[in-house]
Amino acid sequence: MKIFKKTLISLLTVGCVGAFALQAAACDFLSASEPTETPDEHTHTFHQKLVEAQYEKTPATCAQDGVYFKSCSCGEKGEETFTTPALPHTGAICELCLQDVSSQGLEYTLSSDGKSYRLSGAGTCTDERLYIPSTYNGLPVVMFDSSAFYQSAYLTTGKPL
């Protein structure tokens, strides 16, 4: 019985090793004969208009439009460009270009102590966006009348300084 067990174990071991060797050889043979997979080639289509730093050509300022490169859905940057609108000025004296862009023609009233002005009306100004200066005739503009722009239907935005 001992000889039978040893023979059986030996045959099973040889059989397992042989099966493994055949499987390994078959895998090597099949992988060598099959063509390697290649991913589908991607054709770039630069149609996206993304306003992001990586596609920026020229930044927008208060004096000029921004310019960006169009991009592909994969993230690749193209050569064709598109524009974005210029930024608005930032204050009566623009912080970007230092130009005085305060609204002209506004109506001011000198205070009773003669030390400051208050904005009292639109006067001849027809700006849609107001830039109220911090000074007028060398004196500070410290307030504005609550009814100063009551009849000003054209006004869309104001930014007092």
User: How far is 106 from 5, CA to CA, in rounded Å?
Assistant: 112
Q: What's the DSSP call for residue 106?
A: -
Q: What is the pLDDT of residue 35?
A: 52
Two tokens at 25? 């050889």
For 94-129, how does the pLDDT look when each residue is reduced to its tens digit (9 = 90+)? Answer: 877 888 888 899 999 999 999 999 998 888 888 877
Question: Per the confidence metrics, is the pTM higher than 0.75?
Answer: no
Segment among 15-24, 53-62, 90-99 with least mean pLDDT: 15-24
| Whole-angstrom distance, CA of residue 34 vs CA of residue 52 | 44
Euclidean distance between CA atoms 106 and 120, whole angstroms: 8
Helices (H), 2-155: 2-33
C-beta separation of 81 from 108 below 8 A: no
